[in-house]
Amino acid sequence: MTRTVVATGFGCVSGLGIGVAETWRRAVAGEGAIRRLRRNPPAGHPARGIDGPAAWIEPGASREALAGEDLRRLGQLDLLSQHALAATAEAVDAAGLRDHPSLSSRTAIVLGCGSGGNATVDAAYERLYGRGLGKVHPQTIPSSMISAPASHMAMMLGIHGPTFVIASACASSAHALGEAMHMIRSGRVDVAIAGGAEACLNLGSWVGWKSLGVVADDTCRPFSKDRTGMVLGEGAAIVVLESEEHAFSRGAPILGELAGYGMSSDAADMTAPDQAGIEAAIHAAHADAGVALDAPALISTHGTGTRVNDPAEAAAMHAVYSDAIMRNIAIATKSAHGHLIGATAALEFIIGMKALAEGIAPPVLNHLGPDPECELPLALAATPIDLEVLVSNSFAFGGLNAVLVGRRRS
């Protein structure tokens, strides 16, 4: 018998703030986190440094959020792990799971990361190639490896069960939540601490993204006319998932159900989206959740704000939902928190589930007017809703698509 999987704790850190309450407050109020980021390169370095729109976390904020934890080496960790730990601590405390006996043996950690500890790698390479030094810090590898945050989460909580990182670029944390859901459904574990983390606002990553030509000069305007691209964010978002039975048995708060998960691979191109691949993932998620395509839903779009992605996603949604699309409400919260790459899908799932529970869709920001190629039932202002179902889209570079379906619990 397939087990029902529920969410019992949320935690997040992003440019919108530290913690779910502040994140949600700002998302609904339309207080976007995208603003000008300026960071100078190392002295004498020829690169121009960072200067452009981003949704960053105030330096040190994730570390301060962990002040009450017994984490002796916290200051040595890459921001990637600091963000992951801050979101994890909030989610596990919200779920009332701290020190619960299930953590040690019946719990998994499944974390999505698009890349590893970028700032640590930057610092090491700057020594080698910038200053011509021969040595780098001995913690360079353990701090920058992509699985480091999952290990630190396990150490903080005493988790000895399955613990690993899933990497699928911008869909990483959707895959993490979906695979964690299957681990609970199949009975491998009772609890999974799942989500994503990313810390990519360092010079090397910044220049890499800029070189790709998909980053906006002004801000993120999903599905809008005159949009110019995506805007990078950073942070982490963690969901505590449990079998419904386990959650009931300990009287845990039920925040909603993770009811379905569909994925597909375009097998076509490293950067261009593929409409058929997107449609396949949405279809699969609906089928897995047992949610009809004409059931009214809150759709948390991938909505990056790039010229090419938004029309492909809109066209796929029209093809999948046909006329029923107008029964839905579409949100695009990257306009508020930027693109958190490996963490973004989990943050969007949390915001989407909060929207179902609170009965309000947070506004799509920075919209300048409709684009005929991207016509969707967008919530351009905070909009009251009464919807049972969330469909949360994530479509990654390399054609790796993952769609989650959440269900409200009253």
Partner 1 sequence: MSVSPDAVLAVVAEESGLDLTALRPDVTFEQLDISSIDIASTLFAIEDKFGVIVDPDALNPASTISEFVALVIHRSAA
Report the interface residues with partner 1, using CB under 8 A. Answer: 72-76, 135, 137-139, 142
- In angstroms, what CA-CA distances link 357 with 1, 12, 134? 28, 17, 55
Given 302, 337, 367, 374, which residue is catalytic? 302
Output the smallest distance, CB 352 to partner 1, in A: 38
β-bridge mates for residue 298, sequence order: 329, 390
Of 35 and 73, CB closest to partner 1: 73
Of 141 and 315, CB closest to partner 1: 141
Total Cβ atoms within 10 A of residue 212 = 13
Of 64 and 294, CB closest to partner 1: 64
β-bridge mates for residue 212, sequence order: none
Output the smallest distance, CB 135 to partner 1, in A: 6
- Angle (CA) 59 60 63, round 5°: 150
Of 73 and 98, CB closest to partner 1: 73
Residue type, 101: P
Of 78 and 242, CB closest to partner 1: 78
Of 123 and 289, CB closest to partner 1: 123
Listed residue (207, 217, 213, 180) closest to 195, CA to CA: 180
Output the smallest distance, CB 137 to partner 1, in A: 6
Active site residue 200: no
Output the smallest distance, CB 131 to partner 1, in A: 11
**For residues 401 and 175, is the Cβ–Cβ distance under 8 A?**
no
3-state secondary structure of 159: coil
Output the smallest distance, CB 385 to partner 1, in A: 47
Listed residue (384, 378, 383) closest to 366, CA to CA: 378
Listed residue (73, 36, 57, 107) closest to 343, CA to CA: 57
Output the smallest distance, CB 12 to partner 1, in A: 26
Give the pairing of strands 235-243 and 389-396.
unpaired
Listed residue (50, 109, 53) closest to 81, CA to CA: 109
- Angle (CA) 147 149 151, round 5°: 75
Output DSSP code: residue 378: B
DSSP character string of 51-62: EEEEB-PPTTHH
Given 170, 200, 220, 374, which residue is catalytic? 170
Given 175, 286, 339, 367, which residue is catalytic? 339
Active site residue 170: yes
Output the smallest distance, CB 130 to partner 1, in A: 15
Of 75 and 369, CB closest to partner 1: 75
3-state secondary structure of 163: strand
Active site residue 339: yes
- In angstroms, what CA-CA distances link 16 with 28, 60, 189, 195, 270? 11, 15, 32, 17, 30
- In angstroms, what CA-CA distances link 78 with 153, 179, 197, 399? 13, 26, 11, 28
Active site residues: 170, 302, 339
